[in-house]
Amino acid sequence: MKEFNIDKIREDFPALKEYVYLNSSSISIMPLPVQESLKAFMNKIAYAGTVSFDEEAEIASVENTRSASARLFNCSEENIAITSSATEGLCQIAWALKPKGNIIVVDIEFPSGVTPWRRVAMETGAEIRFVNVKDKPADLFIDQIRDLMDEETSVVCVGHAQYSNGVRFDLKELAGLCHDNNTKCIIDATQSAGVVPIDVMDTDVDALVAGGYKWLCGPFGAAIVYIRESLKNEIEPVFVGWRSMKNPYIFDATRYEYNDGLRGYEYSTMSYSAGYALGESINYIMDLGIENIFKQAILVANYLMEKLDEMGLEILSPREESRRTGSVLVRFPGLDGEEVAKELTKRNVIVSPRFNATRFSCHFFNNYDDIDKAVAVLKDILEEMR
């Protein structure tokens, strides 16, 4: 494991000299060593095609990421697929399960956690049940899921952490509730993977997806899908193609046998450069220690919350560290929080407008100095707008 030295880490993110970057919930910045590996990977192929990128290299580009993902989530590589996006992973799972009965989702969920189930429900007649917390997004609790659950509940699909304010479920408790009810527990960890430690074996979730370009500091075009062994054996991939097949490089259209592990869910030529770089970024994070990363993100987010409290602002993220990530959603009474976010970004404090509020996302490369700068700019903006 590398030393967690914040000053050294910041040197890997040159953008931090120019910007106060608090936007990892949207798109993260990529560490220099990962940028360099990505460029080298792409240049080699651009220069000489298959001379450097033969079948072995094609397989290795995703296999390395598979083992990095297994390291990230503490599971076997055989339960990991590398897809092009988190949404693709959720669609694959939703169609493979094709659930009937009712499906529980959350009204503040990122749309990709809901729309695949709604589409499947059009075929199966399943009922979609929403946990409604739009008015109080920090007050999202497992009890609300329990209240909606009955013997017909086939699936609960929720974000481990919510995209708007980082409110986070205890996965072990949630999976326990689901399994006691014979319900599948499907998790979108796009807003937590890379900042919150996740152990899929210990938590016992059925399936989990995570996009790569947010807290994992990877590129667009690659995501991770985990499906537990027992569920893997119960369902079949719905979208299949040449890469889904065992020994895909035989290119024999008369054969039909799925590739090992979850490779059957990888059906076509993907952006291998993205797949490769995601593995590099996961290893960068794991080498620093995911516990250290979580600690730093929470430390900086706590400092930000303190400052926002001093200013008397309305914080829409939970207070308990066990129920959040590095994201802090804040409203400014009497002002449009989305306008404030745009103004901050114009002044090089990079944040996002969400829910009529401003979302600040603190990651492991942020420090107190970033927060002091952001708060100073925020004070100026609020004074001008009032």
Ligand X SMILES: Cc1ncc(COP(=O)(O)O)c(C=O)c1O
Q: Where are the alpha helices (H) located in 158-199, listed in sequence order?
A: 171-180
**CB atoms inside a 10 Å sphere around CB 13:** 20
Candidates 190, 281, 325, 367; binder of ligand X (CB under 6 A) is: 190
Q: Which stretch binds ligand X (CB under 6 A): 56-64, 85-93, 165-173, 308-316?
A: 85-93
The distance of closest approach from Cβ of residue 46 to ligand X in the complex, given in angstroms and rounded to an integer, is: 25
Residue 204 has which token pair?
A: 């016992």
Candidates 110, 117, 267, 294; binder of ligand X (CB under 6 A) is: 110
Is 281 a binding residue for ligand X by CB under 6 A? The answer is no
Q: Which amino acid does the sequence have at 144?
A: Q
Phi-psi region of 362 (alpha: psi -120 to 50; beta: other; left: phi over 0): beta
Is 191 a binding residue for ligand X by CB under 6 A? The answer is yes
Is 86 a binding residue for ligand X by CB under 6 A? The answer is yes
The distance of closest approach from Cβ of residue 239 to ligand X in the complex, given in angstroms and rounded to an integer, is: 15
Q: Which is nearer to ligand X, 90 or 349 (CB)?
A: 90
Using alpha carbons, select from 264, 241, 299 the residue that is nearest to residue 82: 264
Is 163 a binding residue for ligand X by CB under 6 A? The answer is yes
User: How many residues does this entry show for the chain?
Assistant: 386
How is the beta sheet containing 102-106 ordered, strand by strand?
Answer: 80-83, 223-227, 207-211, 184-188, 153-159, 102-106, 127-131
The distance of closest approach from Cβ of residue 195 to ligand X in the complex, given in angstroms and rounded to an integer, is: 13
Is 87 a binding residue for ligand X by CB under 6 A? The answer is yes
CB 255 within 8 A of CB 245: yes
Q: Which is nearer to ligand X, 87 or 367 (CB)?
A: 87
- Give the number of residues in contact with ligand X, rule: CB under 6 A: 12
Is 117 a binding residue for ligand X by CB under 6 A? The answer is no
In the DSSP assignment, the letter for residue 262 is: T
208 forms beta bridges with 187, 226
The distance of closest approach from Cβ of residue 51 to ligand X in the complex, given in angstroms and rounded to an integer, is: 32
Q: Which is nearer to ligand X, 106 or 381 (CB)?
A: 106
Is 261 a binding residue for ligand X by CB under 6 A? The answer is no
Q: Which stretch binds ligand X (CB under 6 A): 1-9, 36-44, 185-193, 336-344?
A: 185-193
Residues 204-243 that bind ligand X (CB under 6 A): 211, 223
Rg, C-alpha atoms of the chain: 21
The distance of closest approach from Cβ of residue 111 to ligand X in the complex, given in angstroms and rounded to an integer, is: 8
Place of tokens 């409203």: 331
From first CA to last CA, the distance across the chain in angstroms is: 49
Using alpha carbons, select from 286, 381, 373 the residue that is nearest to residue 343: 381
Candidates 12, 58, 188, 206; binder of ligand X (CB under 6 A) is: 188
Q: List residues binding ligand X (CB under 6 A).
A: 85-87, 110, 112, 159, 163, 188, 190-191, 211, 223
